Amino acid sequence: MTVLRIEDLHTVVRSRGRDLPVVRGVSLDVDAGEIVGLVGESGSGKSFTALSVLGLLPEGARVTSGRILVDGEDLVALRERDRRTRRGSTVAMIYQDPMTALNPLMTVGAQIAEGLRAHGIRGPEAKRRTLAAIEEVGLPKPDRIARSYPHRLSGGQRQRVVIASALALRPRVLIADEPTTALDVTIQQQILALVDELRTEHDLAVLWITHDLGVVARIAARVAVMYAGRVAEQAGTRELFAAPQHPYSAALLASIPSPTDTERGPLPQIGGAPPDLAALPAGCPFEPRCAYREDRCATGEPEPVHRGGSDTACFVPRERWGVRGDAMEEPA
C-alpha cells in the first residue's frame, strides 16, 4: 500500500533575484514497510525533495507545483498550522548530524516529552511513552538516558535518541537524511539494523537519502537516482544494480571499486561536472557528460519511460550503449 506519494514535485530556491529550479518534476512512491533509497550527489536535489516533504524548506525556497500525498492527504495544500501538526505525527525526519535535532541544553527525556506535548500527550502518559521510545531503540537503562544531556552520549547513542524522538508519535513516513554518514561503520551497521527492524515492526514508509550506494544495496528495496533536480532512474534495487538503465546510474556504479577486483586499474570516471541550475542545457541535463548521447539528447529533455524493469529518463536504451569500456572517459 502506498503511504507516501510524491507527484510531479517542483521546488525552487530564490537566488540573486531569480528562481533556481532545485527539484524539477520528481515523482516517487513509498509503500508501507518499504525503504526507498534516494541517491544523488551534491546539488542533485535529494535533500530539497526531502525538505519539501517535511515542509521545512529554508528561507527563499518554495514548492511551486506538484502534490505530496501521505495516506491520500496532500501536504502541500495544507495550511502551515496543519502542516506543523503533521510533522512528527505523520512525517518525521532523522538527520546526518543528530545534534541538528537535539537541544544541547535539555535532557533527552525532556526533548522527547516536549515533542509529545506538542501533540497533546502530557503527564505520566508522556513519561511512559518517552521511556518506551528510548527502550525501543535499544538504549540500555532508559531512565538514565532520559536524564542525560546529549553531549554525555556517543554519536551512535545520539542518533538512537533522535530515532526514538522521531518515532515517538508513530509517524507513517520516516525521512532519513544520511543518518549514518557521520558514524563509524560498526555503529552504522547497528543503526541500519535498528531502522530495518523498526520499519518492519511499525510498517513505516522510509525514504532513505544517501550518497552511499553500499547502504542502498543493503537496506533499500527500491532506489531512485537523482541528477540535476530530476529522477534519472527509479527501479528495484537489485534490478538497478544488476542492469542500470540510465547512463548516469551506470557510470556512478562503475566508479566504485568492486570488492572482488583482482586487478586494480583506473576507476571509470564520469568526467565534467553537473550542470549549473541557473543555466540548464536545453536537452537532457546529463547529455554533456554522457558517453552514449545521441543527437536528440541535446534538444529535448527525456521523460521517464518504463524499460527493463525501471523508470528511466533517457532516450537511449541500454542495448544501444555498446561496450562499457570504450564509453567511459579515459582516466587522466
Q: What x-and-dash track marks residues 13-52 binding other proteins by CB under 8 A?
A: ----------------------------xx----------
CB of 183 to other proteins, least distance (A): 9
Among 58, 104, 123, 257, the residue binding other proteins under the rule CB under 8 A is 257
Residues 260-319 that bind other proteins (CB under 8 A): 261-262, 264, 266-270, 273
The CA-CA-CA angle for residues 33, 34, 40, to 5°, reads 150
Stretch that binds other proteins, among 119-127, 160-168, 250-258, 297-305 (CB under 8 A): 250-258
Residue 325 in contact with other proteins, rule: CB under 8 A: no
Q: DSSP per residue over 270-299, as a string?
A: --S-PPPGGG--SS-TTGGG-TT--GGGGT
Exposed, middle or buried by CB within 10 Å (0-12, 13-18, 19+), for 265? exposed
Measured from the CB atom, is 125 or 201 closer to other proteins?
Answer: 201
Q: Of 16-24, 164-172, 249-257, 293-301, which part binds other proteins (CB under 8 A)?
A: 249-257
Query: Based on CB atoms, which residue is closest to other proteins, 126 or 216?
Result: 216
Quick check: 221 and 36 in contact, CB under 8 A? yes
The piece of 4-12, 60-68, 215-223, 295-303 that touches other proteins (CB under 8 A) is: 215-223
- What the block records as the C-alpha cell of 26 is 520528481
Own/partner long-range contacts of 103-110 (Cβ < 8 Å, ≥24 apart): 103/150, 104/149, 104/150, 104/151, 105/149, 106/149, 107/146, 107/147, 107/148, 107/149, 108/134, 108/145, 108/146, 108/147, 108/148, 108/149, 108/150, 108/153, 108/161, 109/134, 109/145, 109/146, 109/147
* Residue in 105, 256, 282, 305 binding other proteins, rule: CB under 8 A: 256
Residues of this chain that bind other proteins (CB under 8 A): 41-42, 154-157, 184-190, 192-193, 211-218, 237-238, 241-242, 251-253, 255-259, 261-262, 264, 266-270, 273, 331-332
